[in-house]
Each structure stands twice: as C-alpha cells, then as structure tokens.
C-alpha cells in the first residue's frame, strides 16, 4: 500500500470510547489524553481533510459531576447523567479545540434521526454545512431523550452510520486492542493480528465471535464487524487501532501503524436506513 494512501482521504470519522477517555482508577476524564486527541484531530483537519469525532463519555462525566458513586442503572438516572455530562464534555472539547484555532460543533442522534427521511436529510445537510464552514462535528447518541427502541446500542455502530450518512471515505475505531485477531489475544498468546481484511466472509465473522471478549467497552468485536459492514458497503475503509496512544492517528496517515484495515466494498444497493431497521435491535 502506498505510504500516502490515507493522506488522500477527503473525510474521516474517528470514534473513541469512554474507556479510552477516562482514568481507569477514578473514572475521571484523562485531560492529557483528551488534549492529545484534539491536537491530532486538528492536525488532520489542517491537512485539508474533513474530520468528524464520535465520542462516548457523557454518562460517565455526568455521573462524576452529580456525585454518584456507582454506575447508574435506571434509565432516567442515566439520562440525567447524560444531560449533565454531555454539556460538560462539549465544554471541555470546545475549549481544547479553540486552543488549536478550530471550532467544534455538537450533533446528537438517535435511530429515529436515521429512520425518518426528513430528519435524516436534515442531519446530512447540517453535517455538510458544518464541514463547509470548517467546523469539526462531535457526535454522540442523544442519551438524554432516547429510549431503548431508539438507541443505536454502541458508538461503534453509530460511528459507521455517521460515516455512511456523510459520505466519509475512512472510519477509524480507536479501541483497547490492536485490531481483529484470529482468537482472543487475552486468552490465547498465539492469536495473530489480522492486518488487512479484503472481504467480510465467514472466516472473518468467526474470528469476530472468538474475539468478542477482547474489548472492555460497550461494544465487543462483533459490533466492530457490524460497523465494518456498514462502512465498507458505504464506500469507506475502516481501521481498528489501539487508542491507548491516540498518537496512532498521525501514524495511520503516515501509513505506519499497527491495526486492522477493512477495505471498502461500495455497494450502490446498500441503503443505511433499511439496514438499521432490519438489523439493529
């Protein structure tokens, strides 16, 4: 693969989970890591590439702000935490992005956004205008108002749906492992990293199931394969890489990184709203 392959991309979606944003011991935001992530994204934007961030963490941030000692269980408590946490998270992001002369905007979505033709088109128009204005959209599920049937379930899936909606040509999932392995690397030391997936066939799906326990976030490897299906059929390459060091983002664009690349397989008959309705519970 050419060393400048990823530099030729025009629009990228980066997803990071709450387990990558918070200190493991306390659950508080890791400001050092957050600041480095913002710097990396701004540098990508400075190369003339449209950047969109899909970020988890609102409920965790809200829980800490409210003073809850245990993770919230009731849906109304989770929504209250999301209400407080989303505002705090965006305030932090906007302050950090402004330090690198970039503007961030918030986009909150539910499944209803994608299933309703008018809402989906409105969301698409909003994204396009944000990119036109040079703004970096920060996307999360609208946990404050979403009910079970309106939830995407995990931000791996959400980020792929966003990539499809906005016509991105690259999706990067920052995870807590290096990529897709032939088996769970935490249990099998002989498990090997799969560097490139040309096609999502039965062998890849079997590897995803055997590697499900390797991700401590809300979405396991199976959700990442679902994301890969959405992204690749929509015409985007997808990468799973380890977000322990968010500096991996610039290494990706240099073509020198450890991770799994899923090659795009654009299908003109793939319709994202139909896929959501039929496949995502």
From first CA to last CA, the distance across the chain in angstroms is: 37
Domain that includes residue 189, residue range: 6-279
Question: For residue 1, is it within any domain?
Answer: no
Determine, yes or no, domain membership for 132: yes
Q: Is residue 62 part of a domain?
A: yes
How many domains is the chain partitioned into structurally?
1
Instruction: Assess contact for 66 and 27: CB atoms under 8 A.
Output: no
Q: Flag whether 118 is in a domain.
A: yes
Q: What integer is the mean pLDDT of 244-262?
A: 94
CATH number at residue 59: 3.40.1160.10
Please work out, in degrees rounded to the nearest 5, the angle formed at the alpha carbon of residue 84 by the alpha carbons of 80 and 87. Answer: 140
Residue 174 has pLDDT above 60, yes or no: yes
Residue 20 lies inside a defined structural domain of this protein: yes
Task: Report the pLDDT value the prediction gives residue 147, as an integer from 0 to 100.
Answer: 63
- Say what the pLDDT of residue 280 is: 57
In a domain, residue 91? The reply is yes
pLDDT (average), residues 155-180: 94
**Do 16 and 245 contact (CB within 8 A), yes or no?**
no
- Cα–Cα distance for residue pair 213/184, rounded to 1 Å: 7
Query: Which structure tokens are listed for 229?
Result: 């299906």
The reported pLDDT for the residue numbered 151 is 67
Residue 108 lies in a domain: yes
Q: Where are the beta strands (DSSP E) in 2-126?
A: 11-16, 50-55, 103-109
Contacts of 41 (CB under 8 A, 6+ apart): 14, 51, 53, 97, 102, 136, 249
How much is the average pLDDT of 212-219? 42
pLDDT band at 210 (very low <50, low <70, confident <90, very high): low
pTM of the model: 0.91
pLDDT tens sequence across 223-235: 899 999 999 999 9
**Greater pLDDT, 153 or 62:** 62
CA distance 130 to 155: 21
Residue for token pair 């200190």: 23
Is 70 exceeded by the pLDDT of residue 214?
A: no
């Amino acid at each position: 693969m050419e060393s400048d392959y990823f530099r030729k991309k025009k629009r990228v979606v980066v997803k990071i989970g709450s387990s990558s944003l918070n200190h493991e011991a306390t659950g508080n935001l890791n400001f050092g890591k957050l600041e480095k992530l913002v710097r990396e994204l701004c540098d990508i934007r400075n190369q003339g590439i449209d950047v969109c961030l899909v970020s988890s963490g609102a409920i965790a941030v809200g829980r800490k702000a409210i003073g809850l000692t245990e993770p919230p269980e009731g849906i109304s408590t989770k929504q209250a935490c999301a209400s407080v946490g989303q505002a705090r998270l965006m305030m932090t992001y906007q302050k950090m992005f402004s330090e690198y002369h970039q503007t961030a905007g918030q986009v909150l979505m539910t499944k209803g956004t994608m299933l309703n033709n008018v809402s989906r088109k409105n969301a698409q128009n909003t994204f396009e205008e944000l990119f036109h204005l040079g703004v970096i959209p920060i996307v999360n599920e609208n946990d404050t108002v979403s009910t079970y049937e309106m939830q995407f379930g995990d931000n791996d899936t959400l980020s792929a749906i966003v990539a499809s909606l906005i016509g991105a040509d690259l999706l990067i999932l920052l995870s807590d492992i290096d990529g897709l392995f032939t088996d769970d690397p935490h249990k099998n030391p002989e498990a090997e990293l799969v560097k490139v997936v040309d096609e999502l066939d039965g062998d890849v799906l079997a590897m995803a199931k055997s590697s499900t326990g390797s991700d401590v976030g809300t979405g396991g490897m199976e959700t990442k394969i679902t994301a890969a299906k959405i992204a690749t059929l929509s015409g985007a390459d997808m990468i799973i890489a380890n977000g322990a060091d968010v500096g991996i983002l610039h290494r990706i664009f240099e073509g020198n990184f450890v991770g799994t690349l899923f090659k795009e397989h654009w299908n003109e008959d793939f319709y994202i709203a139909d896929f959501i309705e039929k496949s995502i519970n």
